[in-house]
Amino acid sequence: MAYELNGIEYPSVTTITGILDKPALLGWAAKCAVEHIIENMHIILNVAEVHRANEVLEAARKAYVVKRNEAASHGTKTHSAIEASIQGLDPSRFLDTPESQAGFEAFKSWESKNHIKWLESEVPVFCTSVGYAGRFDVIALVNGHRYLIDFKTSSGIWPEFYWQVCAYRQAYNEMYPIKPVDNLAILHLDKETGTPTFKPVEKDIDRMTVLFNSLVSVYYLLADRRLKNNPFALAVKNTEIPF
């Protein structure tokens, strides 16, 4: 995904972190395949259903894609419901699955147990000095402290989530130097249990920011990026190293 500013396209924060290998996903994909086979074992063991057995095995190869897309859909619905709630609108039209409902209930549970004042939501940011862009969820006062917060509905809290909020902070502070944000947090909303986990990012912010910036350089150097008028991509194509 790319964001455009003044006629220049920049890669998103999640696109940058997406270039990393994620070994845990290999095990998860295998687990999805095995679960699909177990659920349909009666077909595989039926000698009269040999053609359907082949269909089951073929579907098992793609089971992780189905699961991934379902999880993404539930997460999008939860985020949309939260945004509606923050804006004072009715969120119910987004809550048409048990998973999206559980994620939203986790959010409301956390909100009800803290003193929250929403300041900005769905905030687009551009870091033109490093060459990326993105959109984070909110800036809010949480019990009197101003935080940049990103909501996550994944099955866990992964290391790249911390790098992402550090990247958003860097971009936001570059755009708005007179009102910089210092405090960062991830609000994890469990779609299975409805449990919220608020995780402030308090250590190694500078190191994780440098790490993310290094990933941006790797992103541009890995391949010729088709980003309109992007000076970093153009420099690499011309065998210049802009970093």
b/e map of 39-54 (b: 16 or more CB within 10 Å)? ebeebbeeeeeeeebe
CATH number of 2-237: 3.40.1350.10
Instruction: Write out the two tokens for 218.
Output: 């790797």
* The three-state (H, E, C) secondary structure of 83-104, written as one string: HHHHCCCCCHHHCCCHHHHHHH
Domains of the chain, by residue range, sit at 2-237
Torsion sign, CA atoms 174, 176, 182, 183: negative
pLDDT digits (tens, 9 = 90+) for 189-234: 998 888 999 999 999 999 999 999 999 999 999 888 889 999 999 9
Measured in whole angstroms, the distance separating CA 48 from the mean position of its chain's CA atoms is 45
pLDDT digits (tens, 9 = 90+) for 21-79: 555 555 545 655 566 567 666 766 665 666 666 665 665 565 545 555 555 566 788 98
Q: Which pTM does this prediction carry?
A: 0.82
Per-residue pLDDT, 197: 95
Per-residue pLDDT, 1: 79
pLDDT digits (tens, 9 = 90+) for 97-147: 888 899 999 999 999 999 999 999 999 999 999 999 999 999 999 999 999
Per-residue pLDDT, 28: 47
Per-residue pLDDT, 26: 54
- How far from each other are the two terminal CA atoms of the chain, in whole angstroms? 22
Per-residue pLDDT, 176: 97
